Amino acid sequence: MVDNSTVMESGRCIECGARGIDGHSCYELFGYPLVWEHNNPDLYALHFWLVSCYMIQHPSNYTEEGHRLLVQLFIDAYDHNWDTGYILQRNRELVSKVGKITNPVPSQERTRNSKYWSMTIEDIYTGGEKKAIQHIIKWKERVRGELPS
């Protein structure tokens, strides 16, 4: 698998700090819980949290405005305990107002800043499919704790 969205240096993602495991980059590790979701509706119910935690930790995937909106949506959804349907509705509304949220710059040319998070996709992958739900819940709590109030 060619991975153009993660830059790994010394075995770690330069954006989030996750270790590459089993020969997989950070981005490739992210693919595993996306597959696991298809086997478990309860895990799939956490899809927004899985994706947003990963994307918040990889801001180079977004325009500055797109990343700012994602962070604000995450904070609002977490702080107000929004249900998934409402989160997705708010996301559609925000994206329609902004237009392009994904970074148009080719991956190899993007600016990436290092920030080592206390929990990353590495923890979801190493916990495995059986512990994915509890680990994603913990991950969203950790990410929220590391974002501004």
The tens digit of pLDDT for each residue in 28-51 reads 999 999 999 999 999 999 999 999
Q: Which range of residues forms the domain containing residue 89?
A: 47-105+113-149
Domain assignment present for residue 22? The answer is: no
Burial status of residue 124 (CB atoms within 10 A of its CB: 0-12, 13-18, 19 or more): buried
Domain assignment present for residue 42? The answer is: no
Q: What is the pLDDT of residues 56-76, one digit of tens each?
A: 999 999 989 999 999 999 999
Evaluate whether 143 touches 54 at the Cβ level (below 8 Å): no
Q: Which residue has the higher pLDDT, 101 or 12?
A: 12
Domain assignment present for residue 24? The answer is: no
Q: What is the pLDDT of residues 84-141, one digit of tens each?
A: 999 999 988 988 887 778 888 888 888 898 898 999 999 999 999 999 999 999 999 9
Domain assignment present for residue 84? The answer is: yes
Domain assignment present for residue 2? The answer is: no
Site of tokens 């190899």: 108
Domain count, the chain: 1
Domain assignment present for residue 39? The answer is: no
The candidate with the shortest Cα–Cα distance to 123, out of 46, 30, 6, is 30
The candidate with the shortest Cα–Cα distance to 36, out of 146, 133, 122, 138, is 133
Domain assignment present for residue 18? The answer is: no
Domain assignment present for residue 128? The answer is: yes
